[in-house]
A and B are shown apart, each in its own frame.
Chain A
């Protein structure tokens, strides 16, 4: 739910509740006020009667005020002095021919040492239930009106107020540390939004800066490593052709192997880094031909290990990619299928107009589509592979907007490159 709709929603609930409670309070207080004013009037009348009793007779007073009954009490009721108020609802009044609210007020005044009982009664006609319903309807209409106002103005205000917030959100979504584009904020007069803007701008700048540093470091490191590595390899090669004994030869050979691994790794890292800001200049490449050529290179390696190679390639499939990068993708995938295989295993390569599938037999592993393309993620086979090939494959495929997935099925490892873009 959007922030503005959420606020509108809460406002509506609050308005509804306040109107409901307000209406109840209104209803109860009207009733109370009516009762109180009636009682007050009757008390007033009693007081008047008390005054009049001094000069007039009971009969004449009763005749003048039909709602009043006056009685003289005997001695035994002397302790009755407090005023009694009796209220009864829904009492039939034959005079008015309707139900009314019956109120009786009894006073016990002493006038000239005579104890009187003055009873005043009255019926008040209250607003009937159906009329309350129309009052409720008025309230309901007010509610509807407020609802429309809240929804309309609320949305408008929210849109204006939160506009910088949404704009920031949108930019954060698109934010790519590799592009190094700064975040454009909209200035507001709202403290929190300004703070948020400031915070995000700072964070974005910082991560761009950190990323640049890291990238520069990796690039420099890889580039600077290349020359000394080449130098070391050259020196060992020269040394190998001098007079050495078997043991020295072997030591040098191990050193040479390790250096080779290092320079291969370094090379891949450089390539991986350069792909980070590789400008996609795709060319239409004959995928079928490139695949056939790569298979030709690996055919002997695959078959030498007693493995069976099954190939099914549809001719003249073109995709848009850089040819050299495509060769890297293919050789990595095919080599991978050959390397992580079992004895007398199978490698199956299928190319159709929509996908490339490379399937190979192999030992079960705990690798998944999510982690297999990570750098230096290795299977359980404990092979000496460098663990960067698939990361490179993924990167290249991503750069050119294709999709590669991995799955395992009955001890078959399957890579599918979706070229249908």
Chain B
């Protein structure tokens, strides 16, 4: 999958590229709106990660440009501007998602997966499989060894997040942010995710599945094969 990252901050861009490359994305990076337009004219990208405050112009201009030229890329706005107006403008302007800095990198990965899957004609894209566990993202069904497991919405989201970010340490905060979204920012204690995780693990084991969740003491959890 090819990504175009439009971000003027070198270090932040380096972090994202380093992370996204680990996840097997092909990631190209430009710093300005002008350069981004040139790249978009020459190549096709699945997703454009767009910062709003850029040296030469506002990211919203590029958003407009993409929509006007019918460029078939998904757009995720990444911005430090958490002013409310920008969020609304971005989503109204046709971006597919909006994420506010600072965000956990696994969250970005999960958002990219979500926007690329959305409206996908290929039904295979909507199926997430990890060994004996298979998840249908359209019908929101989870099967372990072809046996239906009834999960709550949060448990379901939690599992999708884990499988999307398998073999990666996920901090409790990152998990909470994913499950509760904007509501998380005033939670000072995110230990309550433990309860959801406990239920999820129990349901999978009860259905004859393997417990892939490893606890990283003091930090968070990791979904990995033993």
Query: Shortest CB–CB separation between residue B210 and chain A, in angstroms?
Result: 22
Interface residue? B219 (CB, 8 A): yes
Contacting residues, chain A, for B192 (C-beta < 8 A): 300-301, 304-305
Query: Shortest CB–CB separation between residue A74 and chain B, in angstroms?
Result: 124
Query: Shortest CB–CB separation between residue B49 and chain A, in angstroms?
Result: 13
Interface string of A328-350 (1 = CB under 8 A from B): 10011001000100000000000
Known contacts being A274-B83, A300-B192, is A231 close to B219, with CB within 8 Å? no
Query: Shortest CB–CB separation between residue A254 and chain B, in angstroms?
Result: 8
Pick out which of these stretches binds chain B: A27-35, A48-56, A76-84, A232-240: A232-240
Contact between A230 and B217, CB atoms less than 8 A apart: no
Known contacts being A227-B9, A240-B219, A335-B186, is A300 close to B87, with CB within 8 Å? no
Question: Which of B82, B169, B183, B219 contacts A297 (CB under 8 A)?
Answer: B183
Contacting residues, chain B, for A227 (C-beta < 8 A): 9, 12, 80, 101
Contacting residues, chain B, for A274 (C-beta < 8 A): 83-84
Interface residue? B201 (CB, 8 A): no
Contacting residues, chain A, for B154 (C-beta < 8 A): 300
Contact between B168 and A235, CB atoms less than 8 A apart: no
Number of interchain pairs (Cβ within 8 Å): 118
Contacting residues, chain B, for A339 (C-beta < 8 A): 188-189
Pick out which of these stretches binds chain B: A145-153, A163-171, A257-265, A359-367: A257-265
Contacting residues, chain B, for A257 (C-beta < 8 A): 173
Contact between A331 and B183, CB atoms less than 8 A apart: yes
Interface range for B: 35 or more
Contacting residues, chain A, for B187 (C-beta < 8 A): 301, 335
Interface residues of B in 4-30 (CB under 8 A from A): 9, 11-12, 15-16, 18-19, 22
Interface set of B (CB-CB < 8 Å, partner A): 9, 11-12, 15-16, 18-19, 22, 80, 82-84, 87, 100-106, 154, 168-169, 171, 173-174, 180, 182-183, 185-189, 192, 195-196, 216-220
Interface set of A (CB-CB < 8 Å, partner B): 223, 226-227, 229-231, 233-235, 237-238, 240-241, 246, 249-250, 252-254, 256-257, 259-261, 263-264, 267-268, 270-271, 274, 294, 297-298, 300-301, 304-305, 322, 324-325, 327-328, 331-332, 335, 339, 383-386, 389
